[in-house]
Chains A and B, each alone.
Chain A
Amino acid sequence: MNNAIRACWLSFGQFAATFGGFQIFSLRLLPYLAKAVLRPRLITEQIYSVGALSLVLTMFGGFFVGTVLALQSYSTLVEFGQVDSLGAFASEALVRELGPVVAALLFAGRAGSAVASEVGLMRATNQIAAMELMAVDPIQRVVVPRFIAGVISVPLLAAIFCTMGILGAYLVGVHQLGVDAGAFWSHIQDRVELYDDVGSGMFKSFVFGVSASLMGVYEGYYAAPNAAGVSRAATRTVVITSVWILLFDFVLTGMTMPGV
């Protein structure tokens, strides 16, 4: 009994230490953000590896989420004779929820884990220590460009995801299920609002971008310097980021939903 309490207390202490360490790490990044603009090439390289390389996966995901959404909602809407609002239904769901959340989850799996294992391997092979010896700040050289690139990429990826989803819903809805094309687009224009829907979706994906990329660099930077540590960092990034995204999504939806 005593042992169980002690184990609980120890794991709680460990959790608190990790959580606190994470907050301190986030604060340490702040003063570097402005300076990072002076080395734009570092950021573009990272946008290439976390953003541009995630593009195909994101477009693929968005397209098929859109097609499935159209198929699913059609079978319900047709019972009420409301198939004209298929476009509005699909695009509202995509822009508000699915776009930001699924794009961020894909980003965490595709790019967050890659960042964590890359930085973790740098730690394991003493590259970070070598930089410190040469008076190169590893946070500025390694961590901050990856963080900024993630923050820039995730909202763009979410927007691309939504667009591909709407096109997918259009293809299935209009060409396969026979929804009127004019009604499809005009219902979207009617129902989807710029600030309440697109704006809140973009705001969400910005928050998700910050948490996903922060997690990747943090786990990588403090990875145990061995093979198991690197793989643990990659796994933890995906797991913790996913939990955060889903939790934040609930909170942010509650905050931005009109009339709740």
Chain B
Amino acid sequence: MSGETRAIDISVGLFILLGLGSVVFLTSQTLGSGDLSNSASYTLHARFDHIGDLKVRAPVALAGVTIGRVSQITVDPIEYQAIVELRIDSTFNRLPIDTDASIATSGLLGGKYIELGPGGDEEVLQNQDEIEFTQSAILLENLIGKYMLNAKAE
């Protein structure tokens, strides 16, 4: 093997290594704790009368800590309710069956997320179970509207 071919081989090898290294860097930097694509998870469902502007991939939090994501949002055409599918990290598989789910807002103007409040039942929620107690999104516009109507009445 001549010197020139060797130099080409070495630089091609370094180039490919650097490129793959960058891909690994980008991958490792983006796999945060809130990302479930690399860990086992289970699915729960919850029905809401109104979800505000909750989006797919919004966080599901327990005591303020993200333990899962919203994976799907559909509408029940018969009951006129939104069905939200939650994917929750399998480490947190001891949620009592009377856990409640409410749609909360992070900060005054932040995005919507789902906050779980664990109940006290002995039985725990299984994969594909439905959360029975839910609280819809509080719509700031409605609150302001009510407040203004009350002020007028007085």
Q: A residues engaging B (CB < 8 A)?
A: 44-45, 47-48, 51-52, 55, 91, 95, 153, 155-157, 159-160, 162-163, 166, 185-186, 188-190, 192-195, 197-198, 202, 258-259
Contact = CB atoms under 8 A, between A and B. Distances in A.
B11 A52 contact: yes
A162 B19 CA distance: 10
Given A95-B26, A159-B22, A198-B27, A48 B32 contact: no
Contact of B29 (A52, A160, A166, A202): A166
Given A193-B37, A259-B55, 15 more contacts: A44-B9, A45-B8, A47-B12, A47-B15, A48-B8, A52-B14, A55-B18, A155-B19, A160-B19, A162-B22, A163-B25, A163-B26, A189-B30, A192-B30, A193-B57
Contacts of B8: 44-45, 48
Interface residues of B, number: 28
A220 to B, nearest CB: 21
B31 A194 contact: yes
Contacts of B18: 55, 156, 160
A185 B29 contact: yes
B65 interface: no
B93 interface: no
Contact of B56 (A159, A162, A258): A258
A162 B30 contact: no
Contacts of A193: 30, 35, 37, 57
Contacts of A163: 21-22, 25-26
A97 B55 CA distance: 22
A163 B23 CA distance: 8
13 contacts: A44-B8, A47-B12, A52-B14, A52-B15, A91-B29, A159-B23, A159-B26, A160-B19, A189-B30, A193-B37, A193-B57, A195-B37, A202-B23
A84 B140 CA distance: 26
User: Which 3 pairs show the lowest CB-CB distances between chains A and B?
Assistant: A156-B19, A189-B32, A159-B22
A190 B32 contact: yes
A145 to B, nearest CB: 13
**Interface of chain A, main secondary structure:** helix
B29 A156 contact: no
| Residues of B contacting A: mostly | helix
Interface of B: 8-9, 11-12, 14-16, 18-23, 25-27, 29-35, 37-38, 55-57
Contacts of B12: 44, 47-48, 51-52
Nearest to A259: B55
Contacts of A47: 12, 15-16
Nearest to B18: A160
B15 A55 contact: yes
Contacts of A153: 15, 19
Nearest to B19: A156
A122 B91 CA distance: 63
A160 B56 contact: no
Contact of A156 (B9, B20, B33): B20
A209 B37 CA distance: 27
A159 B19 contact: yes
A258 B12 CA distance: 36
A113 B32 CA distance: 40
Given A160-B22, A258-B57, A194 B14 contact: no
Contacts of B21: 163
